[in-house]
């Protein structure tokens, strides 16, 4: 079975045989599903956590929302 790889930027699964691997000078390996993800991370230097269409953004937002829900009852009481 071929190993399933996950895109370093958007977080979706990469279909085997497709995508792009990028290795930095320090040896860090990035896997990208599309050219869009490659350009956003390497050339535009965007952070997945702050880019709205990535999974990292969705999880970060969900975590921040959950924290707010916990904080609100404490403030009221
Ligand atoms: Zn991607």
Query: Cα(66) to centroid of ligand 1, in Å?
Result: 26
Is 77 contained in some domain?
Answer: no
Establish if 76 belongs to a structural domain.
Answer: no
Per-residue pLDDT in tens (0 to 9) along the chain, 77 residues = 888 999 999 999 999 999 999 999 999 999 999 999 999 999 999 999 999 999 999 999 888 888 876 666 666 55
Alpha-carbon gap, residue 51 to 44, rounded angstroms: 11
In the reported structure, the alpha carbon of residue 12 is separated from the centroid of ligand 1 by a whole-number distance in angstroms of: 6
**Ligand 1 (single-atom ion) residues, CB below 5 Å:** 7, 9-10, 33, 37
CA of 69 to the centre of ligand 1 (A): 31
Q: What is the CATH number of the domain that holds 11?
A: 2.30.170.20
pLDDT at 47: 95
Query: Given this model, what pLDDT does residue 75 score?
Result: 61
**Count of domains in the chain?**
1
Instruction: Give residue 72's pLDDT.
Output: 60
The predicted structure's pLDDT at residue 76: 59
Q: How far is CA 2 from CA 5, 8, 16, 51, 61, in A?
A: 9, 18, 7, 30, 32
* Residue 53: CA count within 13 A, CB half-sphere: 5
pLDDT of residue 68: 78
Q: Where are the alpha helices (DSSP H) in 1-77?
A: 35-38, 55-76
Determine the distance separating the centroid of ligand 1 and the alpha carbon of 27, expressed in angstroms: 20
């Amino acid at each position: 079975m071929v190993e399933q790889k996950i895109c370093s930027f958007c977080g979706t699964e990469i279909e085997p045989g497709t995508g792009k691997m990028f290795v930095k000078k320090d040896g860090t390996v990035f896997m990208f599903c599309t050219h869009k993800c490659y350009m956003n991370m390497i050339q535009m230097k965007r952070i997945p956590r702050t880019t709205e269409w990535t999974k990292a953004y969705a999880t970060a937002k969900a975590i921040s929302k959950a924290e707010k829900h916990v904080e609100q009852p404490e403030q009221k009481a």
